[in-house]
Chains A and B, each alone.
Chain A
């Protein structure tokens, strides 16, 4: 009797894990199969005026590059400060609390805030720059948290050894701690990029438009983005062919999977190489 009960429980638990895996497989297969049949070289490289999505792809890359350029130094500085300079104490607690709260703010609120503050109050308008700044606010918690973990993983002995040699604090961080933590830092930045790549709600009214004449030439111009393009295709043009939609969804999915795979591989590679 007991054994049967144990078996039943195990079966039910394994079953729920299987459902999760099946759901995942269903999403990947559904978008993968239909996406692959619609995507081709022409769609990717042709301008929107010729029925392609070239501008959206480049626009997404612009958006990613700028956000990372702003968010990375900010995030790393915060993480280094939290992990190395103020590991305990009131300031640390307040900053961590603020980051936790930021991480819990829904992305649509970031969109509202970005519109009210960057676009209107600072007068940046619907522009690439507004998008960068809005998305920076969003990715900051991800980058800081990941980087902080990475910095914490650096063994204490390394620091103590460097201190014993008389190295000043900043030198220890620059020459010992940061190089050791690089894989972890890279992982957290990649995960930050992956969040930005798929973000829609926060860019709806801060930086994206459905149609521009050309690629933006300055950060103060609006930009076409893949997620926004997909959103408009599905929401604003009911009855429009879903072929493009599948192609865009596949590109987005592929991008996110690729970035996650990269982060995973970096982590695995270094875990194997350095054991302490």
Chain B
């Protein structure tokens, strides 16, 4: 009995116990985030009704109209627009880096991509606001530069690093034997890439797109600065030349003015719940694809 306890004590030395307590803080934080955002957002769903909150067509906080649909639609519109730009650009850059470019060039481009990923979103927003928006206004001859298209372009620059860095890593991790076998059969380089390497890398590339989606949906400051912040569904609904509003932008804009505990306050947390749900679902699907990626890929 005594020796057993002694063994247990030696096995679990004090350092390990201390470290395990500190390490589990990340779990605690995650739970606290979920609990507190849900707790504060729940009253909005109760008092407004789940469907009239989520699908309500009018967002006018000062008239106590809290329909989140225009925000949700605006977010989705902007994000899909951004992916339409960043996916072709990002995936082809990734293919170039992993398959074609000489080593010195990749060694030069990769740090630039890392840097692009760490430029603060407010800088991107600032760039969009003072450079892109006026250019778009001038170029397309529209009365206002802060439209969905501008937001999509800014977001596409911001999501490119995610797509490029993960995709190129996944492509590079496709086993060399695949390529050699294909080349030995007489396939050209592009045929090899197209029909052997890319199919093998597909799950990882899809994961990178999903992660980019999650990041774009959650982007706040940059979107807020260039989307125009007009809570409307453009007519026609796919019109990218009209201003829109986004979930994140509404939270950031209104949060400073609401009084604690008011319906508006709870509604903003309700928007947070929607946002959190979207990002969790997207990240979960991305996780699923990452597990199918070629071995040894760490994301």
Contact = CB atoms under 8 A, between A and B. Distances in A.
Interface of A: 2, 5-6, 9-10, 12-14, 16-17, 19-21, 23-24, 26-27, 30-31, 73-74, 77-78, 80-82, 85-86, 91, 94-95, 98-102, 104-113, 115-117, 120-121, 137, 140-141, 144, 149, 168-170, 191, 194-195, 197-201, 204-205, 227, 230-231, 234-235, 242, 245, 249, 252-253, 256-257, 259-260, 264
B101 A116 contact: no
B179 to A, nearest CB: 15
B67 interface: no
Contact of B100 (A10, A27, A116): A10
28 contacts: A9-B190, A14-B100, A17-B92, A20-B112, A21-B109, A30-B127, A31-B123, A77-B18, A78-B23, A85-B19, A91-B24, A104-B214, A104-B279, A106-B217, A106-B276, A108-B220, A112-B269, A120-B260, A169-B13, A197-B120, A198-B121, A234-B125, A235-B224, A235-B225, A245-B130, A252-B120, A256-B119, A260-B115
A260 B188 CA distance: 39
A50 to B, nearest CB: 24
Nearest to B14: A170
User: Does more than half of chain B's interface fall in helix, strand or loop, or is it mixed?
Assistant: helix
Contacts, number: 238
Contact of A95 (B26, B119, B123): B26
Contacts of A82: 23
Contact of B23 (A10, A95, A141): A95
Contacts of B55: none
Contact of B93 (A17, A81, A169): A17
User: Does more than half of chain A's interface fall in helix, strand or loop, or is it mixed?
Assistant: helix
Interface stretch (B1-9, B29-37, B57-65): B29-37
Given A24-B112, A108-B272, A6 B188 contact: yes
B27 A20 contact: no
